[in-house]
Structure 1
Amino acid sequence: PPHTDYFDCTYKDGLLYAVTLMGEIHTFDLSGPAVTMNTIMGVDDDDDFGIQGAYILQAPWGGLLLVWRLKVYSGNPDDISALTLHTKGIKIHEVDVAAKKLVEIDCLHGHVLFLGHNQSLCLSTKECPALKENRVYFTDDNEYITVHKDSRRDIGVLRLDNNSWESLVFPQLWSNWPAPVWITPNLTMMKLSLN
Structure 2
Amino acid sequence: MEHIKPIFNQDGVLDKYEMSYYNGKIPRVEETPYEFDLPEYREVYYKAMLSSNPSSGDCIVMLIHQPYSQLSFARVGEDHWNWIPIGLFYTDCIYHKGWFYTVSVLGAVDAFNLNGPSVVHKRILKDMLTLGYEQMYIVQSPWGDILIVNRMTIIPRNGNPEIEETELYTSDIVVYKADIGEQKLVNLTGIGDYALFIGHNTSSCLPVKDCHMLMPNHVYITDDEYLWLLEFRHKRRDVGIYSLENNSLSNVVSPEPWKSWLPPIWMMPNLMKTGFQDQNNGGD
TM-score by length of 2: 0.62
C-alpha contact (below 8 Å) 2:178/2:184 kept by paired residues? yes
Q: In 2, distance between residues paired with 1:99 and 1:31?
A: 28
1:191 equivalent to 2:191? Answer no
- Which one has the largest radius of gyration? 2
After superposition, the CA RMSD in angstroms is 2.1
Q: Following superposition of structure 1 onto structure 2, how do residues 88-103 of structure 1 map, counting pairs within 5 Å?
A: 88-103=171-186
C-alpha contact (below 8 Å) 1:150/1:174 kept by paired residues? no
User: Which structure carries more relative contact order (alpha carbon 8 Å, separation 6+)?
Assistant: 1
Q: In 1, distance between residues paired with 2:187 and 2:86?
A: 28
- Aligned partner of residue 278 in structure 2, secondary structure: helix
1:64 equivalent to 2:146? Answer yes
Using the TM superposition, give the Cα deviation of residue 45 of structure 1 relative to its aligned residue in structure 2, in angstroms.
Answer: 3.9
Q: In 1, distance between residues paired with 2:236 and 2:262?
A: 13
Q: In 2, distance between residues paired with 1:99 and 1:186?
A: 38
| Equivalent in 167, 188, 201 of residue 84 of structure 1 | 167
Q: In 1, distance between residues paired with 2:149 and 2:129?
A: 16
C-alpha contact (below 8 Å) 1:153/1:173 kept by paired residues? no
Using the TM superposition, give the Cα deviation of residue 125 of structure 1 relative to its aligned residue in structure 2, in angstroms.
Answer: 0.7
- Aligned partner of residue 126 in structure 1, secondary structure: helix
C-alpha contact (below 8 Å) 2:107/2:129 kept by paired residues? no
What runs of 5+ residues in structure 1 fail to find an aligned partner? Answer: none
User: For residues 117 and 135 of structure 1, do their structure 2 counterparts lie closer, same or farther at Cα, with a shift above 3 Å needed?
Assistant: same
Q: Deviations over 1:90-145 (max 9, x none)?
A: 11111222333222112111100011111111111100011110101111012121
Q: In 1, distance between residues paired with 2:246 and 2:108?
A: 27
Aligned residues: 192
What runs of 5+ residues in structure 2 fail to find an aligned partner? Answer: 1-84
- Aligned partner of residue 277 in structure 2, secondary structure: helix
- Aligned partner of residue 245 in structure 2, secondary structure: coil
C-alpha contact (below 8 Å) 2:106/2:129 kept by paired residues? no
Q: Which residue of structure 2 aligns with residue 52 of structure 1?
A: 134
Percent of paired sites with the same residue: 36
Using the TM superposition, give the Cα deviation of residue 175 of structure 1 relative to its aligned residue in structure 2, in angstroms.
Answer: 2.3
Using the TM superposition, give the Cα deviation of residue 148 of structure 1 relative to its aligned residue in structure 2, in angstroms.
Answer: 1.1
User: For residues 83 and 22 of structure 1, do their structure 2 counterparts lie closer, same or farther at Cα, with a shift above 3 Å needed?
Assistant: farther
1:160 equivalent to 2:254? Answer no
Using the TM superposition, give the Cα deviation of residue 168 of structure 1 relative to its aligned residue in structure 2, in angstroms.
Answer: 1.3
